[in-house]
Amino acid sequence: MAALKSPSDIARETLKQLAARRLSPTPDNYQALYEEIAGSASPPAFPAAALRGILRVMPGQTPAQKRLLNQLEQAIAQQSWSTLQSVMVGYANLGLTPADASLAPTPLEVEAAHVPQRLALALARLVDNTLPALGEEDMRLGDMATQLVGMLRSDMPTVADTERMLADFGHRLSFAAEEQGALRTSLLTLLHLLFENIAALSTDDDWLHGQVQALLAATAPPLNLRRLDEVEQRLKDVIFKQAEAKLHTRQAQEQMRELLATFIERLAQMDESSSSYHSQMEQCAERISQADRLQDITPLLEEVIRATRAMALSSRVARGELQDLRERAEARHAEIDQLRQELDRASSMARHDALTGSLNRKGFDEAVQREVARAQRQDTPLCIALLDVDDFKSINDRLGHAAGDEALVHLADVTRQGLRPQDQLARYGGEEFIIILPDTVVDEGVQVMRRLQRELTTRYFLKDGERLLITFSAGVAQMAGKDDISDAIRRADQGMYLAKRSGKNRVVAA
């Protein structure tokens, strides 16, 4: 093609070539053909805008990264491809090759390095959460914590300052933690001595022994807030039942005293009547011995007969009253014994199932309310698992109800041993159990229940030398936001029903 000198000629030829080559008339195609026809090429435009967009999202936390990002910004401003290439290579080699002496941070850079903001805030929260457990006795520790938290929550805390203040705080904290541990051990020892002395001073008071045993169990290390809450609720219920039983006992004792007073009064009346009767008989005998005629003896005999009849009638009435008093006394004794037995049961099993030792419905309602409130307050997951023993009726029909009860006890024991300390087992009714799983999402809850199923397959239930495999079907539901606990239980029940329908010994997430 002949060289074209005029720009207008080059432009006309460029349009002809676009049509001949069937190219779209875009600026890029036009520029390429124009340069081809003119026999010259313009240098490519520097992508400053695109590079600045990359610069904004590249990390710049370490001194080396910050230095390379400054160089990259200068390369973009100068539109220097060579500097840009050098910066890209240096950034790519960070952490992959041995540190170059030219890239190593200087001591001044290390001293001025800043702690990442997320790490600083996490350390500040850690210090805030540590102080309440140490009390307020150590004022110096509180001042150090306030200074440390203030520095960590400042705009740019340096690594050097953070390291120095953390070392001082940790040194002081070790002494405070040791002192708190010694105080707790001493207080627990004193409480145990107090409880044991109370029990020793009340050898005949069974209900008080129940309270003491509960307190001793609750204060046995390691301490657990859930255990303390349970015992607190349990003792409140026991105290209420004790007050009610004590009132009934006092009433029964007062009635017993009234019965005894009436009994003594009747005995005195009988004795008085008997003395009067004997005196009257003696007088009649004396008068009969002095009588000379039969007519004088006849009225005396009538008087003796009347007195004897009156004495017999009085004796029958007194005997009937005494019999009634005895029956009433026996009834009061039986009532007092029943109250004592109810009080003993209240002391030991206020919120627990008498057969399996797991929580009963009342204990479950209180426990799940606490866990729901905690989960909503701390925004943590909470799962409810509902399980039902498979073919439980066949066990009862073939081996008897006593064997069925033993099977439930076996299931509860294996389940409790396979759960975490914070998990809680409750008997929901019959052969149904419900498990509270704090800090657990639904997938983890399903895995927990499957692990319990595997554990039951390795631990057979033995009855009269026969090994029985106990299985269960379960549904697992996770609390969602402000979800009501009844909704979660209903969904878990639906999951359990589907597990039954799909072949039993299964776990279904609801």
pLDDT for 313-359, tens place per residue? 666 666 666 677 667 767 766 776 776 666 656 555 567 787 888 88
3-state secondary structure of 93: coil
Fold of 361-509: Alpha-Beta Plaits (3.30.70)
Under a CB-based contact definition with an 8 Å cutoff, are residues 494 and 510 in contact?
Answer: yes
Chain position carrying tokens 């953070």: 162
The reported pLDDT for the residue numbered 195 is 64
The reported pLDDT for the residue numbered 99 is 44
- Given the DSSP bridges, would you call strands 382-389 and 432-438 parallel, antiparallel or unpaired? antiparallel
The answer to whether the Cα torsion of 46, 51, 52, 53 is positive or negative is: positive
**Distances in whole angstroms, Cα of residue 352 to Cα of each of 72, 213, 235, 372:** 70, 15, 13, 20
The reported pLDDT for the residue numbered 411 is 93
- Which residues have CB under 8 Å from 477's CB, separation 6+? 383, 384, 385, 442, 488, 489, 491, 492, 495, 509, 510
Q: Is 363 exposed, middle or buried (0-12, 13-18, 19+ CB in 10 A)?
A: buried
Task: Give the H or E element holding residue 389.
Answer: strand 382-389
**Distances in whole angstroms, Cα of residue 253 to Cα of each of 157, 205, 206, 240, 330:** 75, 16, 18, 20, 12
- In the chain, domain spans: 7-38, 48-110, 117-195, 254-328, 361-509
Q: Is the pTM of this model over 0.85?
A: no
The reported pLDDT for the residue numbered 245 is 64
Q: Does residue 431 have an active-site annotation?
A: yes
Positions in the chain whose pLDDT score sits under 50: 1-2, 97-101
d(CA 211, CA 206): 9
Residue of 431, 432, 444, 466 with catalytic role: 431
Tokens read off for 110: 């290390």
The reported pLDDT for the residue numbered 488 is 92
The reported pLDDT for the residue numbered 98 is 46
Under a CB-based contact definition with an 8 Å cutoff, are residues 110 and 62 in contact?
Answer: no
The reported pLDDT for the residue numbered 269 is 60
The reported pLDDT for the residue numbered 490 is 92
The reported pLDDT for the residue numbered 279 is 72
